[in-house]
């Protein structure tokens, strides 16, 4: 009987000891928790049995034994449901979501977290609400929904700052930094990481410090500061080893390998990535495994081992797809397009590039960036509103404790302040409305002026086409009468070519104006691409002679076969496209040889214009689309190709420049 009476205390002591060992020695923690559960009988309180089971599940998770942990949590959830215990149900669901996350089942994790959030909100537990909001932010970031992710994280941060919880504040600051990193705002990301690092160092929270150190390393890596990035990765790895965090160790080794690869220390990189892959295999986590495989694939790509690169990247893509990591899926598609291009499998290269481009546009469209900016200001207003509400509550409590006369004075003062503030706000609103009215008037004037300029441009351009057509007709007629070797023939031929060039420029202006007014139309018909290329080269010969006089040198190498099937397009618009592309090359490179290629790919024709031969080019798929900074002629090219049911992209690599586009072939 004495033993039975002391059993609850013994269970409690064993559970406390197990909880202390979960992160230090999860195997020992498991042993202690199981020992505690062996003492459980029908007289044991549910809370004691619950704590022992939860601690056991935590120890199993740290050993990456997810299914065993889930079985325990599901059993405890049924019991907590029967007891109608809101808090215990929320705690179990929160731990379940964490396991789903590790398994790459992000949608399942989100579902559990949303239920957890409702339970904690109903129970009035702001600390747990803030933690759940933080975890939801992480989940939506992995799904590529940055707007929702930032919304959850900012709400979490506002609650944590009200509660003044230092370590949780640092955790959320770190997660907000990751959002800015994904938005390619690396300096802003680093500022958040630094704030998180400062708090973790102040609170001596070494396990929490590892994550922002690793994240800052990634931002520095993106900025090209490789030695500094390595330093932060090593600091993170040291902490992950001390806390025996296998997932963290694998990611740190993978990031170190990535930096060493960029520094062309390939042997060192290979060793680090081998360690990353070995540790990743132990975690059973798709997220960790896909990162290791991505970096291995990039190393093989740099070493020109394309078969191994293709295998690693495809395996990584499969895992990233299972875990719905849009950022990584996009990156893997991009690098697979490079691998297939090197293997001259252009159809697969184009397929992966299209998927990369589609996902990238979903992740980083302009509307999302604008909404996130607005969200930042909205969060500041909400934080201020919370502070005001808190002050109101404090003032209300104080007013109940003072005498009636003091209360009246306080009310009078508060009313006076409110009146002054309201009056100030009213003046501000009046001023703001007047300012908006004036800005609207200026905006309307600018729009009207822009329309007038566009109308004048279109009218003048149309009027120029008539005399140009007559000049061309006269030139063509007289050229037939003259000897090709005579000086008169050469002079008249130059006039004809300049007329043709001027016609292209005028049609550019007309199409640009029509596109602004949303009136640009395309008339498609079968077109022989080689004939268009020959025509443009012929028109530009006069420009080439002028370039040579100006100490610039440029030549053409037309490798487009004569026997290609026709494409379906607008011949005049294709002339404009080729002309504008060549002019872009001349302006940017000033000298060299320009190569023209055309390769049938299924039902489409891939056209390539580059200053590098096809077999020597570094890239013919883009590192980055830069249409926003292009002159209007190239923007017009993009628009015209798109209207002809085509796709176009640009790749810049040091002094190499390539433009590629596809158009549908005639059936």
pLDDT tens across 296-315, in order? 889 898 888 888 988 999 98
Q: CATH number of the domain at 544, please.
A: 3.30.565.10
In total, how many domains does the chain have?
A: 1
Domain presence at residue 622: yes
DSSP secondary structure letter of residue 329 = H
Distance of CA 309 to the CA centre of its chain: 23
Say which range, 75-89, 454-468, 652-666, has the weakest mean pLDDT: 454-468
Domain presence at residue 637: yes
Residue 474 burial (C-beta neighbours within 10 Å; 0-12, 13-18, 19+): middle
With contact defined as beta carbons under 8 Å apart, do 581 and 649 qualify?
no
Taking the C-alpha atoms of residue 617 and residue 300, their distance in angstroms, rounded to an integer, is 19
Confidence of residue 2 (pLDDT cuts 50, 70, 90): very low
**583 phi, psi to nearest 5 deg:** -60, -35
Taking the C-alpha atoms of residue 31 and residue 17, their distance in angstroms, rounded to an integer, is 10
Q: Is 40 helix (H, G, I), strand (E, B) or coil?
A: coil
Of 463 and 4, which is predicted with more confidence? 463
Residue 124 burial (C-beta neighbours within 10 Å; 0-12, 13-18, 19+): exposed
Query: Is pLDDT at 643 greater than 80 in this prediction?
Result: yes
pLDDT tens across 253-294, in order? 999 999 999 899 999 989 999 998 898 888 777 888 888 889
With contact defined as beta carbons under 8 Å apart, do 92 and 113 qualify?
no
**657 phi, psi to nearest 5 deg:** -140, 130
pLDDT of residue 316: 86
pLDDT of residue 516: 73
Segment 382-398 mean pLDDT? 46
Among 13-22, 519-528, 569-578, top mean pLDDT goes to 569-578
Taking the C-alpha atoms of residue 387 and residue 588, their distance in angstroms, rounded to an integer, is 55
Query: Is pLDDT at 455 greater than 80 in this prediction?
Result: no
Confidence of residue 615 (pLDDT cuts 50, 70, 90): low
**553 phi, psi to nearest 5 deg:** -135, 130
Domain presence at residue 607: yes
Largest CA distance in the chain: 126
Query: Is pLDDT at 157 greater than 90 in this prediction?
Result: no
Cβ neighbors of 501 (< 8 A, separation 6 or more) are 539, 540, 542, 543, 579
Confidence of residue 442 (pLDDT cuts 50, 70, 90): low
Segment 493-515 mean pLDDT? 79
Place of tokens 């907590």: 80
Segment 457-486 mean pLDDT? 64
Confidence of residue 372 (pLDDT cuts 50, 70, 90): very low
Cα dihedral 452/458/462/463 (nearest 10) = 30
Domain presence at residue 165: no
Q: What is the percentage of the chain residues whose pLDDT exceeds 70?
A: 75
pLDDT tens across 318-365, in order? 888 877 777 788 888 888 888 888 887 878 888 888 888 777 776 655
Taking the C-alpha atoms of residue 594 and residue 657, their distance in angstroms, rounded to an integer, is 10
Confidence of residue 460 (pLDDT cuts 50, 70, 90): low
pLDDT of residue 567: 93
pLDDT tens across 517-571, in order? 777 888 889 999 999 999 998 888 766 555 443 445 778 899 999 889 999 999 9
Of 543 and 616, which is predicted with more confidence? 543
CB burial of 20-50 (b: ≥16 within 10 Å; e: otherwise) equals: ebbeeebeebbbbbebbbebbeeebeeebbb
Domain presence at residue 579: yes
Domain presence at residue 559: yes
Of 634 and 438, which is predicted with more confidence? 634
Cα–Cα separations (whole angstroms), residue 8 to 12, 20, 152: 6, 19, 41
Domain presence at residue 117: no
Domain presence at residue 463: no
Taking the C-alpha atoms of residue 471 and residue 466, their distance in angstroms, rounded to an integer, is 9
Cα dihedral 407/408/412/414 (nearest 10) = 20
Mean pLDDT of the chain: 79
pLDDT of residue 445: 61
The domain of 602 spans 521-664
Tallying the residues shown for the chain, one arrives at 667
Confidence of residue 217 (pLDDT cuts 50, 70, 90): very high
Distance of CA 637 to the CA centre of its chain: 26
pLDDT of residue 44: 76
């Amino acid at each position: 009987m004495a033993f039975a009476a002391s059993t609850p205390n013994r269970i409690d002591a064993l559970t406390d000891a197990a909880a202390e060992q979960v992160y230090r020695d999860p195997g020992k923690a498991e042993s202690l928790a199981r020992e505690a559960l062996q003492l459980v009988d029908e007289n044991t309180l549910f809370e004691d049995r619950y704590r022992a089971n939860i601690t056991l599940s935590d120890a199993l998770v740290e050993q990456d034994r997810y299914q065993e942990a889930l079985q325990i949590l599901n059993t405890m959830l049924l019991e907590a449901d029967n007891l109608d215990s809101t808090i215990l149900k929320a705690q179990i669901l929160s731990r379940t979501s964490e396991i789903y996350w590790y398994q790459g089942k992000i949608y399942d994790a989100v579902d559990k977290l949303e239920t957890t959030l409702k339970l904690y909100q109903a129970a009035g537990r702001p600390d747990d609400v803030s933690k759940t909001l933080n975890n939801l932010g992480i989940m939506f970031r992995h799904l590529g929904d940055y707007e929702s992710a930032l919304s959850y994280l900012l709400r979490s941060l506002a609650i944590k700052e009200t509660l003044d919880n230092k370590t949780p504040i640092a955790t959320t600051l770190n997660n907000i930094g990751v959002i800015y990193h994904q938005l390619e705002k690396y300096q802003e990301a680093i500022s958040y990481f630094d704030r998180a690092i400062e708090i973790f160092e102040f609170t001596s929270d070494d396990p929490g410090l590892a994550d922002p150190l690793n994240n800052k390393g990634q931002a520095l890596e993106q900025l090209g500061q490789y030695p500094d990035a390595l330093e932060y990765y090593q600091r993170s790895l040291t902490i992950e080893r001390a806390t025996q965090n296998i997932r963290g160790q694998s990611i740190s080794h993978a990031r170190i390998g990535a930096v060493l690869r960029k520094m062309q220390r390939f042997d060192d990189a290979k060793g680090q990535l081998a360690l990353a892959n070995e540790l990743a295999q132990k975690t059973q986590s798709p997220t960790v495994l896909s990162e290791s495989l991505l970096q291995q694939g990039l190393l093989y790509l740099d070493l020109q081992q394309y078969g191994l690169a293709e295998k690693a990247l495809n395996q990584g893509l499969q895992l990233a797809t299972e875990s719905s990591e849009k950022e990584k899926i996009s990156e893997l598609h991009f690098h697979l397009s490079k691998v297939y291009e090197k293997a001259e499998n252009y159809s697969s290269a184009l397929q992966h590039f299209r998927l990369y481009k589609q996902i990238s546009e979903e992740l980083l469209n302009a509307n999302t960036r604008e909404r996130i900016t607005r969200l930042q200001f909205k969060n500041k207003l909400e934080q201020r509103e919370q502070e005001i509400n808190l002050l109101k509550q404090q003032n209300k409590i104080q007013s109940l404790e003072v005498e009636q006369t003091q209360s009246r004075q306080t009310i009078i003062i508060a009313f006076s302040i409110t009146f002054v503030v309201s009056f100030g706000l009213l003046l501000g609103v009046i001023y703001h409305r007047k300012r908006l009215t004036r800005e609207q008037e200026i905006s309307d004037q600018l729009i009207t002026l822009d329309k007038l300029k566009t109308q004048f441009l279109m009218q003048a351009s149309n009027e120029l086409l008539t005399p140009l057509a007559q000049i061309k007709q006269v030139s063509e007629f007289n050229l037939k009468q003259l000897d090709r070797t005579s000086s008169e023939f050469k002079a008249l031929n130059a006039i004809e070519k300049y007329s043709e060039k001027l016609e292209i420029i005028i049609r550019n202006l007309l199409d640009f104006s029509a596109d602004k007014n949303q009136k640009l139309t395309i008339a498609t018909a079968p077109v022989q691409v080689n004939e268009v290329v020959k025509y443009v080269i012929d028109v530009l010969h006069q420009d080439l002679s002028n370039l040579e006089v100006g100490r610039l040198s440029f030549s053409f190498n037309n490798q487009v076969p004569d026997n290609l099937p026709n494409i379906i397009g607008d011949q005049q618009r294709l002339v404009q496209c080729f002309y504008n592309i060549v002019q872009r090359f001349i302006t940017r490179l000033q000298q060299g040889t320009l190569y023209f290629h055309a390769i049938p790919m299924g039902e489409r024709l891939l056209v390539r214009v580059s200053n590098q031969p096809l077999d020597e080019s570094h890239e013919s798929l883009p590192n980055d689309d830069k249409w926003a900074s292009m002159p209007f002629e190239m923007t017009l090219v993009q628009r015209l190709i798109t209207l002809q049911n085509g796709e176009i992209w640009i790749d810049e690599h040091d002094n190499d420049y390539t433009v590629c586009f596809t158009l549908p072939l005639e059936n």
